[in-house]
Amino acid sequence: MPRVTAKTNWPLEWNQDVNGDANTLLNDAESRSYAPINSVSTLSKTLFVHEPQAEIRAGQHLIEDTHEQATSVTHENDRLLQRDLTLDPMLSSNQAYKVAPSKRQMLGLTTTSTIKSTSSLPIPFDVGFNHNITTTCQNFMSKMLSSTDFKKCSPISMLLQNSNSFFQTSKNFLRITSLLDTSCSAPVSDCTKLFQTYSLNLTRSDACGPDISHSNPQIESALLGLRAYKTLYTVSCLRTSSPVVNCNQKSHLSGPDKTISSIGRPEDSYCFANAITNTTNPSNSFIYFLPLNVSLVGSAVPTCNTCLQSTMSVFQLETANRSSVLAHNYHQAASQVNVVCGPQFVNASLAVAVSSASLKGTKRCSLLVLFWILIYFIIMG
């Protein structure tokens, strides 16, 4: 047993044993009703002079334990923050969140961390263009897509087939709803005129005319998206609380379907948002691709609700223009819908071909749809 050196403030009767064995000291301490002591290292620091390395090691262990606790709390904080961002991706990019303390913070330093939201609106053709595009066409497309006027329209028609960021957004109900809030609040008249101009200019020989002649699929899709802007704006902005659009009957608009809401979804939500995020029945979203020259697949079994009725009614109106894409694929889709939902669920016939008289009626019904969309944003704004 090693010998120890005692301080001079020990009891007087112990001074005579200052150079004795530690075992003798321990036995004497127990006989005097001191707390049980198992080893020399557990004696009070007021009794023995310890080496400084022991205290350093104890401090290091304390710091390491504190760091491990702080790291664990930080990981939990990050997990909760990611959950909040998933539930509400539009959190302010300037909002500051207090994060779990680091090792320095545990020693008394306090800081905050600013969490910047990386979420942004989806953009068309964010994966670029293929190698077959001509230089003049690529310049035209790049200039158009970067235009401030183009961006403020947030056109769903340009995103459906040509945007990876939109594909990611469509997986989250809150994100797609936020996008639709922006898209549906755009100045539809100005945007319609803008895209009509773009569609005409895109076909010019000094723009993308040669690319269309060579059937470049990306440019053909872009042209369809520009032409379908107003149609897809109208149907993507329909809400579950909107009156049912039926321009083929005397009563053009009827009350909303109160059973439309899905579990976990607000009763007043976008029909398009419900359809495109519906993983139980993905075919609900297939209808929205009709204006982009994508026919309804034979296996599609869309949900029979007022959203479907209103959307198909808007499409049926567009068939009055016999040069439109819908004039060629609407009848087949409507007939298939009626097989699923009943023979009179939607009007499977094409609208009367455009004339000065019929065009007036068609525009009147289209204006009614846009009117209800406008009223909603006025009330909610």
- pLDDT tens, 16-67? 444 455 555 455 555 554 444 444 444 444 444 444 555 556 666 666 665 5
Q: How many domains does the chain have?
A: 2
Q: Is the domain of 319 the same as that of 209?
A: no
The number of residues making up the chain comes to 381
Per-residue model confidence (pLDDT) at position 131: 83
Between CA 15 and CA 20, with CA 19 as vertex, the angle to 5 degrees is 95
**Which two three-digit tokens encode residue 52?**
């400084």
Q: How far apart are CA 27 and CA 116, in angstroms?
A: 66
Sorting pLDDT into bands at 50, 70 and 90, what band is 352? very high
Q: Is the domain of 223 the same as that of 244?
A: no
Q: Does the structure show a pLDDT above 60 at 84? A: no
What are the φ and ψ backbone dihedral angles of 226, each rounded to 5 degrees?
-65, -45
- Inside any domain, residue 165: yes
Per-residue model confidence (pLDDT) at position 357: 46
Q: Is the domain of 281 the same as that of 209?
A: no
pTM over 0.85: no
Q: Is the domain of 269 the same as that of 189?
A: no
Q: Is the domain of 242 the same as that of 303?
A: yes
The helix/strand/coil state of 375 is: helix
Q: Is the domain of 281 the same as that of 360?
A: yes
Q: Is the domain of 244 the same as that of 132?
A: no
Q: How far apart are CA 361 and CA 367, in angstroms?
A: 10
- Inside any domain, residue 205: yes
Positive or negative: CA dihedral 212, 217, 222, 225: positive
Sorting pLDDT into bands at 50, 70 and 90, what band is 333? very high
Question: Of 241, 84, 195, 208, which Cα lies nearest the Cα of 136?
Answer: 208
Q: Is the domain of 182 the same as that of 266?
A: no
**Which two three-digit tokens encode residue 129?**
């263009």
In tens, the pLDDT along 182-217 reads: 999 999 999 999 999 999 999 999 999 999 999 999
pLDDT (average), residues 81-91: 49
Which of 87-91, 130-134, 177-181 ranks highest by mean pLDDT? 177-181
Which of 180, 204, 227 lies at the terminal end of a domain, its last residue? 227
Mean pLDDT of the chain: 75
**Which two three-digit tokens encode residue 275?**
């359809």
Q: Is the domain of 289 the same as that of 221?
A: no
Q: Is the domain of 221 the same as that of 344?
A: no
Q: Give residue 375's domain range.
A: 237-381
Q: Is the domain of 255 the same as that of 223?
A: no
Q: Is the domain of 199 the same as that of 325?
A: no
Q: Cα separations (Å) of 26 from 17, 18, 183?
A: 11, 12, 84
